[in-house]
Structure 1
Amino acid sequence: MNDLLAWLAGLPDPLLYGAILVAAFAENVFPPLPADTVIALGAFVAARGNGTMLGVWAATMVGNVGGAMLMYALGHRFGLPWLIRRFPSIVTEQAAGEFSRQFQRQGMVAVVISRFLPGVRALVPPMAGALGIGAGRSAIAMSLASGVWYGVVCLLAFRAGASADQLLAAITRQQRTLGLVALGIVVVAVAFVFWRRQRGHRRS
């Protein structure tokens, strides 16, 4: 981490913003990439130089939404069989069917919430494309989720003290909190749908 922090600190502001943009873009294409760490450290460096929170957030949004829409286009072009081959341990036919049902029921809301779930967020753009959710609606939904997620990251970075370690610990807590909130919403939604079905069966 210290090497990455030193490298980012040595970049002039335009290249620092560029590095943040590339990391945010690559997160959608190569999910194991620790983009949140790069973006948080980049924001940390920008805050202690001549960078601005708006500049960091804008670079992150352009990269993240751009990468997400690239994966959306690939999912739309190649469909679910391609996704199952690309992510065989995650995208099974059963999982794809569940995604499809959630997206059909909740539309944009499902896309927004899913982008907050660790381990799932990278699958949302290509899955939305494969399931035929409109590009405009998907872009809006993913922009909303990314805007909140990285808005909090930038805010924490610009308000952090002198310790990058404390910043990364705060980012981890933020990820856990937002993920749990999103998971809670999913559980409540599923329980509500199940309750309505059971109620309908009893009436019939």
Structure 2
Amino acid sequence: MGGWVTNTLNSLGYIGVVWLTFLENVFPPIPSELIMPLAGYLVSQDRMTLVGATLAGTAGSVIGALLLYGFGRWFGEERLKRFADRNGRWLTLSPRDIDRASTWFEKRGLWAVFICRLIPGLRSLISIPAGIHCMPLGRFVLVTALGTAVWTGALVFAGQQLGENFERIGRWLDPVTKVVLGAMAVWYLWRVIRFKHDHERSAHG
């Protein structure tokens, strides 16, 4: 994959950054931790600019996030409730939980989107609940762009400073991604185990 990313950036430049970061949001196996530090290396070679690479990476990520947001908006809260009513345990959600989540998202959704755009493993996923809970599109685009610009700019700058050693960034961040995904898996299993007990208790309480 690294060779394909390198060839794409070398041949397409800023357009390649936009394309790859769009794909990275829709297909997470393509990591921004590889794309943007490589763009930073190209900045160190005067083949891109720091601002240009950051803007291109941000644009591609926002486009990809909009696609996931649109899916969440299309799926919708009511459809999610019906799905939860049939498959609540495996989804670890009940219709009542979804109502609570909607209330929470209305109050804190902006911060949730911004912070998650800075966390490997959650950067793409947060766009779906934002769509499901109908976060206003303008706010979603603004906070997604801001969070993405911080993340993208940091990776480009680090790649620029490391030069030919830019691949170290991916190795440094890989354990963080694994910890986040592992924590999500443990949390999900705990929710599945506790789901029936918690909801039976609430039904009798």
Scaled to the shorter chain, the TM-score interval is: 0.5 to 0.7
Q: Structure 1 residues 51, 100: closer, same or farther in 2, change over 3 A?
A: same
Aligned length: 171
Counterpart of 1:45? 42
Q: Structure 1 residues 91, 111: closer, same or farther in 2, change over 3 A?
A: farther
Which of structure 1's runs of 4+ aligned residues deviate more than 2 A? 1-9, 90-102, 114-121, 164-173
Counterpart of 2:65? 68
Q: Structure 1 residues 167, 117: closer, same or farther in 2, change over 3 A?
A: closer
User: Contact 1:8 / 1:45 at 8 angstroms: preserved in 2?
Assistant: no
Compare relative contact order (CA 8 Å, sep 6+) and give the higher one, 1 or 2. 2
Unaligned runs of 5+ in 1: 180-204
Counterpart of 1:137? 139
Residue by residue over 1:4-40, the C-alpha shift from the partner in whole angstroms, topping out at 9 and shown as x without a partner, is 475257x24xx12222111111122222322331222
User: Contact 1:27 / 1:35 at 8 angstroms: preserved in 2?
Assistant: yes
How high is the TM-score relative to the length of structure 1? 0.68
Q: Structure 1 residues 106, 30: closer, same or farther in 2, change over 3 A?
A: same
Give the Cα separation in 1 of the matches to 2:29 and 2:101.
21
Unaligned runs of 5+ in 2: 181-205
Counterpart of 2:93? 93
How high is the TM-score relative to the length of structure 2? 0.68
Give the Cα separation in 1 of the matches to 2:23 and 2:16.
10
Superposed CA RMSD = 3.3
Counterpart of 1:3? 3
Question: Counterpart amino acid of 1:39?
Answer: M
Question: Counterpart amino acid of 1:7?
Answer: N
Q: What are the within-5 Å matches in structure 2 for residues 1-204 of structure 1?
A: 3-4=3-4, 7-8=7-8, 11-12=10-11, 15-80=12-77, 81=79, 92-93=92-93, 99-170=101-172, 172=174
